[in-house]
Amino acid sequence: MADISSEVDKKAERNVFLFLVVFLAPIVAVAITATLGFSIWFTQLIVGPPGN
């Protein structure tokens, strides 16, 4: 009985890992990059370009 439970746990852990690596990490990376780019763009829109 413990072997079946451990196999299910390993399969679930693998599925969660794949979800994090394949979907969540790239989405978070793109969101952080987009947020930084938008904040820089918006700041330059209000203040002006660097060295101005």
Distance CA 5, CA 12 (A): 11
Q: Write down the pLDDT at residue 25.
A: 96
48 torsion bin: left (phi>0), alpha (psi -120 to 50), beta (else): left
Confidence (pLDDT) at 37: 98
Residue 50 backbone class (left: φ over 0; alpha: ψ -120 to 50; beta: rest): beta
pLDDT value of position 1: 54
The model's pLDDT over 1-52, given as tens digits with 9 standing for 90+, comes to: 566 778 888 999 999 999 999 999 999 999 999 999 999 999 999 999 888 6
Give alpha helix (H) positions in the chain: 2-19, 25-47
